[in-house]
Amino acid sequence: MTADELVAFAEDLARIAAAGGGPQALAEHLAASTGVAVVVEGIESKRLAAVGRSTHGEARTVPIASGDSKFGELRVFGDGGAELDRVMRLTASAIALELSREAAGEPGRRRAFWERLITRAHTDAAAARDDAAARGIVAASHYVAVALESEHSEERNALRTAALAAFRSSDADGGFLERGTALLFFIPAPREIDAANARTAASLLPRAIAKSHPHPHLNGGVGTRVALVELQQSLQQAQAALSIARRLHGPGRIGVYEDLGAYPLLLSGAGAQALREFSRRTLAPLRAYDEKHQTELERTLRLYFSVGENVKTAAAELNVHRHTVFYRLRQIGEISGCKLDDPHDQLTLRMAIAIDALTT
């Protein structure tokens, strides 16, 4: 490893520890970075973490200690290169810090806050902020939830490391929970621009992972920006977006809830109120443009669909030249954010129009 790579390795260890990843996540980071098998043993030979299959034979060992307190040993099997001793010591120090904090109850207390938050255990925002402060967490006013998933442990470790780096924030503390093959991130988003940045960062993760895993098997979903106490809603949206992205596009895709149009409604079996809100939200940009500029984009779209997407017939019905219809269709795509030649986007627009016709 170069000096810069060592610094990056140490920074990644710090991010994993800060997010509460624990000994297993830190061991996975060491294994993924060096290609070795790793075992973390606590006192009385209690195994705390294990990564890799080749954990037999001669091992290189580093004590896991903090001051006079010894917590166990870090054992590595395999040739990890000239810098292995140094990165082992860095990892052992990070694990020692985590174990000493666990002994004091800090990581568990921090994780418990996020667990409580996503189960709606807090009565209001003030109670949530007070709970966060009592646990040493600087909470933001709003958050965006991101759910990531990979069944491959090495890829999941790389994904965790990349996501922790991509989602870091200097304004407030983020949250992280690991549930089986799923990695859940809660990203501070006090402003809408922060939410937009989170969506962009999440969408770029497959490309980042592809550098070390050419055919990513990961999937992900991004929820909407919500108030702190409503974090469960964003998490549910993120999990729904993950499921939809996996089913529609296969592995290697990140679904953004706000960009999925009608599919979340179909997945959840939405009620009448949710359907009306979806229709209103989808058609709102066209209606606002029509009202401001005295145009007929919404009427043109409705007619275009009703005549089977026949531009000539639509032009005759509207009493305009067909080039005018083509121009309006381009405007509709730009303003609505939907591509009229994309079947998924067209489903969204058709559903919005049908729901509007049925409910008004």
One domain for residues 67 and 27: yes
SS (H, E, C) the chain: CCHHHHHHHHHHHHHHHHCCCHHHHHHHHHHHHHCCEEEEEEHHHCEEEEECCCCCCCCEEEEEEECCEEEEEEEEECCCCCCHHHHHHHHHHHHHHHHHHHHHCHHHHHHHHHHHHHCCCCCCHHHHHHHHHHCCCCCCCEEEEEEEECCCHHHHHHHHHHHHHHCCCCCCCCEEEEECCEEEEEEECCCHHHHHHHHHHHHCHHHHHCCCCCCCCCEEEECCCEEHHHHHHHHHHHHHHHHHHHHHHCCCEEEEHHHCCCHHHHHHCCCHHHHHHHHHHHHHHHHHHHHHHCCCHHHHHHHHHHCCCCHHHHHHHHCCCHHHHHHHHHHHHHHHCCCCCCHHHHHHHHHHHHHHHHHC
Main-chain phi, psi angles of 221, to 5 degrees? -145, 145
Cβ–Cβ under 8 Å, residues 30 and 3:
no
**Domain of residue 202, CATH code:** 3.30.70.270
pLDDT score, position 18: 72
pLDDT score, position 222: 97
Which tens digit of pLDDT belongs to each residue from 111-144? Answer: 888 988 998 888 888 889 988 888 888 999 999 9
Which of the listed residues 232, 260, 288 is the one where a domain comes to its end? 260
One domain for residues 40 and 100: yes
What separation in angstroms does the CA of 351 have from each of 265, 280, 282? 10, 11, 10
One domain for residues 72 and 112: no
pLDDT score, position 145: 96
One domain for residues 293 and 252: no
pLDDT score, position 68: 67
Structural domain of 288: 267-359
**Domain of residue 346, CATH code:** 1.10.10.2840
pLDDT score, position 57: 63
One domain for residues 80 and 205: no
**Domain of residue 19, CATH code:** 3.30.450.40
Give CA–CA dist 235/182, Å, rounded: 12
Give CA–CA dist 92/227, Å, rounded: 38
One domain for residues 126 and 205: yes
pLDDT score, position 72: 85
Whether the pTM exceeds 0.75: the reply is no
Which of the listed residues 88, 104, 120 is the one where a domain comes to its end? 104
Which of the listed residues 74, 104, 134 is the one where a domain comes to its end? 104
pLDDT score, position 105: 58
pLDDT score, position 230: 94
One domain for residues 146 and 238: yes
One domain for residues 249 and 123: yes
pLDDT score, position 340: 92
One domain for residues 193 and 273: no
One domain for residues 86 and 113: no
Q: Which residues contact 357 (CB under 8 A, 6 or more apart)?
A: none
pLDDT score, position 316: 94
Which regions in the chain score pLDDT beneath 70? 20-21, 43-45, 53-57, 68, 80, 101-108
Amino acid identity for residue 149 in this structure:
E
One domain for residues 230 and 138: yes
37-42/182-188 β-pairing: unpaired
One domain for residues 253 and 332: no
From 163, 299, 271, 143, select the one nearest 218 (Cα to Cα): 163
Give CA–CA dist 340/349, Å, rounded: 9
The count of structural domains within the chain is 3
